[in-house]
Amino acid sequence: MLSGYVYASPFRDRAAYRWSVETTAYVREDCRGSGIGKRLYLALLPRLRELGYYPAFAGIALPDLAGVALHESVGFGPVGIYRNVGVKLGGWHDVGWWQLELRQPSVPPG
């Protein structure tokens, strides 16, 4: 049975954002706290760098202390909150946004 996963998808459809990526992480409840999420992220992030991405973003439905801890453990930092933007488990939730610079921005890529 799958213990968890991480993946990346385009941040936005517009060409201006083609160098940015959004990440998602999920760890099965009975596997949380085992380090699986961090190991998965540590496998994904170098690949994103190789593919040429600059910033990675993660949206976390709040409150989610474990999700925040996971993302911060691999270098993501908080950048803002969208208020009452997501519905989960029958209620409206804020979504916090975290960002990780995969590599330093340089002159705009071609």
Domain membership flag for residue 45: yes
**CATH number of the CATH domain containing 79:** 3.40.630.30
SS3 93: strand
Q: Is the peptide bond before 63 cis (omega within 30 degrees of 0)?
A: yes
Instruction: List the structure tokens of 104.
Output: 């330093």
Could you tell me the pTM of the whole model?
0.91
Give the residue numbers spanning the domain of 24: 4-101
Half-sphere exposure of 53 (CA within 13 A, CB side): 24
Domain membership flag for residue 55: yes
- Which residue type sits at 28? R
Domain membership flag for residue 15: yes
Per-residue pLDDT tens for 49-100? 999 999 999 999 999 999 999 999 999 999 999 999 989 889 999 999 999 9
Sign of CA dihedral 10, 16, 18, 23: negative
Q: What angle do CA 24, 3, 75 make, to 5 degrees?
A: 40
Domain membership flag for residue 109: no
pLDDT of residue 47: 98
Domain membership flag for residue 107: no
What's the structural domain count of the chain?
A: 1
Domain membership flag for residue 54: yes
